[in-house]
Amino acid sequence: MIYKILNKLDSNKPFNQVSAHCDIPCKIYDPISAQLAVLTMIRMVDLLNELQRSVNFHLEQQATFNRLVGEKEIHGKKVKEEISIIWGDYFKHPQLEAYPELHGLTHEIMLATSFAKQHINRDKTVLLLEKVNQFSEIFWRSKGIPVYRAKSPYPPSEVLVYPDLKA
Protein backbone atom coordinates (compact mmCIF):
# COMPACT_ATOMS: atom_id res chain seq x y z
CA MET A 1 0.00 0.00 0.00
CA ILE A 2 2.83 2.41 0.87
CA TYR A 3 4.33 1.59 -2.53
CA LYS A 4 1.08 2.60 -4.24
CA ILE A 5 0.97 5.89 -2.31
CA LEU A 6 4.58 6.67 -3.23
CA ASN A 7 3.88 5.72 -6.83
CA LYS A 8 0.93 8.12 -6.92
CA LEU A 9 3.02 10.95 -5.45
CA ASP A 10 5.81 10.16 -7.91
CA SER A 11 3.45 10.40 -10.88
CA ASN A 12 2.25 13.82 -9.73
CA LYS A 13 5.60 15.27 -8.78
CA PRO A 14 8.51 13.04 -9.94
CA PHE A 15 11.07 12.08 -7.32
CA ASN A 16 14.82 12.11 -7.89
CA GLN A 17 16.11 8.85 -9.36
CA VAL A 18 19.16 6.89 -8.34
CA SER A 19 20.73 3.75 -9.81
CA ALA A 20 21.06 0.54 -7.82
CA HIS A 21 21.01 -3.09 -9.00
CA CYS A 22 23.21 -3.63 -12.04
CA ASP A 23 23.72 0.12 -12.30
CA ILE A 24 22.83 -0.27 -15.96
CA PRO A 25 19.41 -1.98 -16.01
CA CYS A 26 19.71 -2.72 -19.68
CA LYS A 27 16.89 -5.33 -19.83
CA ILE A 28 18.87 -7.18 -22.48
CA TYR A 29 18.32 -10.90 -21.98
CA ASP A 30 18.64 -13.59 -24.61
CA PRO A 31 19.01 -17.34 -24.03
CA ILE A 32 20.87 -17.73 -27.35
CA SER A 33 24.16 -17.32 -25.47
CA ALA A 34 23.36 -20.39 -23.38
CA GLN A 35 22.19 -22.33 -26.44
CA LEU A 36 25.38 -21.54 -28.36
CA ALA A 37 27.46 -22.51 -25.33
CA VAL A 38 25.85 -25.98 -25.31
CA LEU A 39 26.36 -26.26 -29.09
CA THR A 40 30.04 -25.54 -28.46
CA MET A 41 30.16 -28.27 -25.81
CA ILE A 42 28.66 -30.76 -28.30
CA ARG A 43 31.20 -29.68 -30.92
CA MET A 44 34.05 -30.16 -28.44
CA VAL A 45 32.77 -33.68 -27.68
CA ASP A 46 32.69 -34.47 -31.41
CA LEU A 47 36.25 -33.22 -31.86
CA LEU A 48 37.41 -35.15 -28.80
CA ASN A 49 35.86 -38.32 -30.18
CA GLU A 50 37.64 -37.71 -33.50
CA LEU A 51 40.90 -37.26 -31.61
CA GLN A 52 40.34 -40.52 -29.79
CA ARG A 53 40.28 -42.29 -33.13
CA SER A 54 43.75 -40.94 -34.03
CA VAL A 55 46.34 -43.65 -34.40
CA ASN A 56 49.09 -41.55 -32.92
CA PHE A 57 48.74 -39.42 -29.80
CA HIS A 58 51.83 -37.30 -29.82
CA LEU A 59 52.52 -34.05 -28.04
CA GLU A 60 50.52 -32.02 -30.55
CA GLN A 61 47.45 -34.21 -30.11
CA GLN A 62 47.85 -33.97 -26.35
CA ALA A 63 47.89 -30.19 -26.62
CA THR A 64 44.76 -30.29 -28.78
CA PHE A 65 43.11 -32.61 -26.28
CA ASN A 66 43.81 -30.18 -23.44
CA ARG A 67 42.45 -27.25 -25.41
CA LEU A 68 39.24 -29.08 -26.35
CA VAL A 69 38.60 -30.18 -22.77
CA GLY A 70 39.36 -26.66 -21.55
CA GLU A 71 36.91 -25.07 -23.97
CA LYS A 72 34.19 -27.59 -23.05
CA GLU A 73 34.70 -26.63 -19.40
CA ILE A 74 34.59 -22.88 -20.13
CA HIS A 75 31.37 -23.18 -22.11
CA GLY A 76 29.82 -25.39 -19.45
CA LYS A 77 30.36 -22.60 -16.95
CA LYS A 78 28.89 -20.15 -19.45
CA VAL A 79 25.71 -22.23 -19.77
CA LYS A 80 25.24 -22.13 -15.99
CA GLU A 81 25.96 -18.41 -15.81
CA GLU A 82 23.66 -17.39 -18.67
CA ILE A 83 20.76 -19.55 -17.44
CA SER A 84 21.19 -18.32 -13.84
CA ILE A 85 21.13 -14.68 -14.91
CA ILE A 86 17.91 -15.05 -16.91
CA TRP A 87 16.26 -17.23 -14.23
CA GLY A 88 17.23 -14.88 -11.39
CA ASP A 89 17.06 -11.45 -13.01
CA TYR A 90 14.51 -11.65 -15.84
CA PHE A 91 11.77 -13.98 -14.63
CA LYS A 92 9.39 -12.31 -12.19
CA HIS A 93 6.44 -13.59 -10.17
CA PRO A 94 3.81 -13.42 -12.96
CA GLN A 95 5.98 -15.46 -15.34
CA LEU A 96 6.87 -17.95 -12.60
CA GLU A 97 3.16 -18.46 -11.98
CA ALA A 98 2.49 -18.90 -15.69
CA TYR A 99 5.35 -21.39 -16.09
CA PRO A 100 5.61 -23.34 -12.80
CA GLU A 101 7.95 -25.89 -14.39
CA LEU A 102 10.66 -23.25 -14.70
CA HIS A 103 12.37 -23.79 -11.34
CA GLY A 104 12.58 -27.55 -11.86
CA LEU A 105 13.83 -27.12 -15.42
CA THR A 106 16.54 -24.67 -14.32
CA HIS A 107 17.75 -27.12 -11.68
CA GLU A 108 17.77 -29.93 -14.27
CA ILE A 109 19.89 -27.74 -16.55
CA MET A 110 22.39 -27.13 -13.75
CA LEU A 111 22.69 -30.87 -13.07
CA ALA A 112 22.88 -31.78 -16.77
CA THR A 113 25.56 -29.16 -17.36
CA SER A 114 27.67 -30.57 -14.52
CA PHE A 115 27.40 -34.03 -16.05
CA ALA A 116 28.30 -32.74 -19.52
CA LYS A 117 31.36 -30.97 -18.09
CA GLN A 118 32.52 -34.05 -16.21
CA HIS A 119 32.13 -36.51 -19.10
CA ILE A 120 32.72 -36.81 -22.83
CA ASN A 121 29.22 -37.99 -23.66
CA ARG A 122 27.46 -36.71 -26.79
CA ASP A 123 24.01 -38.09 -25.96
CA LYS A 124 23.92 -36.43 -22.55
CA THR A 125 25.17 -33.13 -23.96
CA VAL A 126 22.47 -33.20 -26.63
CA LEU A 127 19.96 -33.87 -23.84
CA LEU A 128 21.30 -30.73 -22.12
CA LEU A 129 20.69 -28.79 -25.33
CA GLU A 130 17.05 -29.94 -25.37
CA LYS A 131 16.57 -28.68 -21.81
CA VAL A 132 18.15 -25.33 -22.66
CA ASN A 133 15.90 -25.17 -25.74
CA GLN A 134 12.87 -25.72 -23.48
CA PHE A 135 14.12 -22.88 -21.25
CA SER A 136 14.52 -20.69 -24.31
CA GLU A 137 11.00 -21.51 -25.47
CA ILE A 138 9.55 -20.50 -22.08
CA PHE A 139 11.58 -17.28 -22.17
CA TRP A 140 10.27 -16.20 -25.58
CA ARG A 141 6.70 -17.30 -24.85
CA SER A 142 6.78 -15.22 -21.65
CA LYS A 143 7.38 -12.23 -23.93
CA GLY A 144 4.52 -13.24 -26.21
CA ILE A 145 6.92 -14.12 -29.01
CA PRO A 146 6.32 -17.38 -30.91
CA VAL A 147 9.21 -19.71 -31.57
CA TYR A 148 10.32 -22.19 -34.20
CA ARG A 149 12.94 -24.93 -34.29
CA ALA A 150 15.67 -25.18 -36.91
CA LYS A 151 19.05 -26.81 -37.33
CA SER A 152 21.97 -24.51 -36.69
CA PRO A 153 23.77 -23.61 -39.96
CA TYR A 154 27.14 -24.66 -38.56
CA PRO A 155 28.54 -27.74 -36.77
CA PRO A 156 27.33 -29.62 -34.83
CA SER A 157 24.08 -28.83 -36.75
CA GLU A 158 21.75 -29.54 -33.88
CA VAL A 159 18.25 -28.15 -33.49
CA LEU A 160 17.87 -24.82 -31.69
CA VAL A 161 14.80 -22.87 -30.61
CA TYR A 162 14.70 -19.45 -32.29
CA PRO A 163 12.29 -16.55 -31.71
CA ASP A 164 10.00 -15.82 -34.65
CA LEU A 165 10.38 -12.04 -34.63
CA LYS A 166 8.57 -11.63 -37.94
CA ALA A 167 5.33 -13.09 -36.55
Partner 1 sequence: MAPFIPSESYIIVAKWLIIFPIKKGQRLIINHSKYGLIIKTVAVVDKNGFVWSRGESKGSITIEEIGPVEKRQILGRVISVFKPEVY
Cβ atoms 124, 41 nearer than 8 A: no
Residue 92 C-beta: closest distance to partner 1, Å: 5
Question: Which residues 107-166 are close enough to bind partner 1 by CB under 8 A?
Answer: none
From the CB of residue 123, how many other CB atoms can be counted at a distance below 10 Å? 8
Q: Is 59 in the site for partner 1 (CB under 8 A)?
A: no
Cβ atoms 165, 145 nearer than 8 A: yes
Residue 58 C-beta: closest distance to partner 1, Å: 42
Beta bridge partners of 149: 161
By C-beta, is 85 or 127 nearer to partner 1? Answer: 85
Residue 133 C-beta: closest distance to partner 1, Å: 25
Q: CA nearest 83: which of 120, 26, 37, 14?
A: 37
Q: Is 16 in the site for partner 1 (CB under 8 A)?
A: yes
From the CB of residue 110, how many other CB atoms can be counted at a distance below 10 Å? 15
Residue 90 C-beta: closest distance to partner 1, Å: 11
d(CA 164, CA 74): 29
Binder among 18, 28, 55, 165 for partner 1 (CB under 8 A) = 18
Q: Own/partner pairs for 63-68, CB < 8 Å, 24+ apart?
A: 68/44
Binder among 19, 59, 150, 166 for partner 1 (CB under 8 A) = 19
By C-beta, is 6 or 159 nearer to partner 1? Answer: 6
By C-beta, is 13 or 92 nearer to partner 1? Answer: 92
